[in-house]
């Protein structure tokens, strides 16, 4: 009886659906699984299913004809997707949706369903036409990609944790080094030795500031010299407790690679601590100007004070401060010029190759 029905629908010239034998034959033989349902009958049953549909689902023709398509659903089928299909049928509109469907043997496949209403000449609803496409491979690929992403995310999380861990340890260790110096100098009676320890502490604090700034942003590999100079100078001038030293900052943002940051920071620290230690002695007030800018192929850092001025022979001494400054400049490939300033004090210029700076990020 179903056979007859199918033949009537798919093959007969009189059938409303698929007028013309050639068209019906094409549907029968098509490799794309296809069905037709009849909404005018109770529960919108399948009235035609082609061989490809039977191959895909594993059912016999007898199993499917006269039944509503919901037998393809199973516990894993998404209820919202089913609801959307039901709504499309109710509203007599097209729908394209992926569903998890079940074969006769219980195995599943991902079904890309294309469902369209078919209206008669008078505009009334006659059939629903549905084509199925097995897209399980696509889902399998997707699952594989997601699996790979999860693995990568796991590795990345581990690495991030590790970086945070190392960052934490470096910061704590820097704090411990400063603690050792602070605690030790408390028990040293000789003020000259205490001053030396204090110089050392200042250098370590400059390193600490670099490290704190490097890890404040997520961009651990970049370091803005302007931020550092602002922080360092505020800290150093504040620490002197002197309100008669005015600070003028004119800082263009110059971003350098992390590996250059400590050398540059230590160099700035030496120059600025020298100004604060030597330029404004015996109650002399004054100003400290720091400028960072780019000039042609150079990055230029200038520290200028209007203090007592530097004795020419002092700049060439072999004190630790001087040799540290010269060697840091060498490390940066920079030219270090110490000279009398325009305002009578001292001007220290550091001319670095532009290659030190990284292109500013958009």
Partner 1 sequence: MAKRRPLRIFVVEDEALLLMQLEALLVAAGHEVVATAMSTAEALARIPTLAADLAFVDLRLGDSGGGIVVGRQLARTARMPVIFVTANERRIPVDEEPGPPPPDAGDNDLGGDYAGAMGVIAKPYTLHGLRTALDFLDEALRLPPPHRAPPESLFLTPAYAARWQIAV
Ligand X SMILES: Nc1ncnc2c1ncn2[C@@H]1O[C@H](COP(=O)(O)OP(=O)(O)O)[C@@H](O)[C@H]1O
Please report, as residue ranges, which positions from 133 to 172 form the binding site for ligand X (by CB under 6 A).
none
Number of neighbouring beta carbons within 10 Å of residue 68: 14
**Residue 17 or 223 with smaller CB distance to partner 1:** 223
| C-alpha–C-alpha distance, residues 310 and 347, integer Å | 9
Residue 183 binding target from Mg ion, ligand X, partner 1, none, CB below 5 to 8 Å by type: partner 1
CA atoms lying within 13 Å on the CB side of residue 9 = 21
| Cα separation, 119 vs 33, whole angstroms | 21
**305 near ligand X, rule: CB under 6 A:** yes
Q: Under a CB-based contact definition with an 8 Å cutoff, are residues 46 and 35 in contact?
A: yes
* 153 near partner 1 (CB under 8 A): no
Q: By CB under 8 A, what part of segment 216-275 binds partner 1?
A: 231, 234-236, 238-239
Judged by CB under 5 A, the residue of 50, 209, 274, 346 near Mg ion is 274
With residue 108 as reference, give the H or E element that holds it: strand 108-119
Contact status: 32 vs partner 1 (CB under 8 A): no
For position 57 contacting partner 1 by CB under 8 A, the verdict is: no
Report the site for Mg ion in 315-344 (rule: CB under 5 A). Answer: 321
**Sites for Mg ion among residues 199-238 (CB under 5 A):** none
3-state DSSP assignment of residue 121: coil
- Contact between residue 74 and residue 102 where contact means Cβ atoms under 8 Å apart: yes
In the block, residue with structure tokens 């800290």: 235
Site string for ligand X, 225-264 (x = CB under 6 A): ----------------------------------------
Q: Are strands 108-119 and 125-134 parallel, antiparallel or unpaired?
A: antiparallel
Nearest to 274 by CA among 224, 324, 231: 324
| List of residues contacting ligand X (CB under 6 A) | 274-275, 277-279, 305, 307-308, 310, 314, 317, 319, 321-322, 346
| List of residues contacting partner 1 (CB under 8 A) | 164, 167-168, 171-172, 174-176, 178-180, 182-183, 186, 201, 205, 208-209, 211-212, 231, 234-236, 238-239
């Amino acid at each position: 009886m179903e056979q007859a029905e199918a033949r009537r629908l798919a093959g007969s010239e009189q059938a409303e659906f698929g007028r013309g034998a050639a068209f019906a034959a094409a549907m029968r033989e098509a490799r794309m699984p296809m069905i037709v349902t009849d909404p005018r009958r109770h529960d919108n049953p399948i009235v035609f299913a082609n061989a490809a549909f039977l191959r895909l689902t594993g059912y016999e023709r007898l199993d499917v004809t006269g039944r509503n398509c919901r037998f393809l659903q199973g516990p894993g089928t998404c209820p919202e997707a089913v609801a959307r299909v039901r709504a499309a049928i109710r509203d007599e509109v097209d729908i394209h949706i992926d569903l998890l469907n079940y074969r006769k043997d219980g195995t599943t496949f991902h079904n890309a369903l294309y469902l369209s209403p078919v209206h008669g000449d008078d505009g009334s609803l006659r059939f629903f036409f549905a084509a199925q496409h097995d897209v399980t491979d696509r889902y399998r690929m997707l699952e594989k990609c997601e699996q790979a992403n999860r693995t990568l995310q796991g590795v990345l999380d581990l690495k991030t944790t590790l970086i945070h861990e190392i960052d934490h340890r470096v910061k704590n260790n820097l704090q411990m080094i400063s603690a050792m110096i602070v605690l030790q100098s408390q028990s040293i009676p000789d003020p000259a030795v205490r001053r030396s320890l204090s110089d050392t502490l200042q250098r370590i604090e400059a390193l600490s500031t670099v490290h704190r700034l490097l890890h404040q942003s997520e961009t651990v590999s970049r370091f803005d010299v302007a931020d550092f100079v602002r922080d360092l100078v505020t800290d150093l001038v504040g620490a002197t407790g002197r309100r008669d030293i005015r600070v003028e900052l004119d800082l263009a943002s110059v971003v350098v690679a992390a590996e250059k940051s400590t050398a540059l920071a230590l160099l700035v620290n030496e120059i600025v601590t020298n100004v604060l230690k030597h330029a404004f002695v015996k109650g002399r007030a004054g100003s400290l100007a720091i400028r960072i800018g780019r000039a042609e192929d150079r990055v230029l850092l200038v520290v200028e004070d209007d203090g007592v001025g530097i004795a020419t022979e002092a700049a060439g001494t072999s004190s630790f401060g001087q040799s540290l400054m010269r060697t840091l400049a060498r490390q940066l490939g920079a030219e270090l010029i110490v000279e009398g300033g325009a305002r009578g004090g001292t001007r220290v210029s550091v001319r670095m190759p532009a290659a030190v700076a990284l292109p500013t990020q958009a």
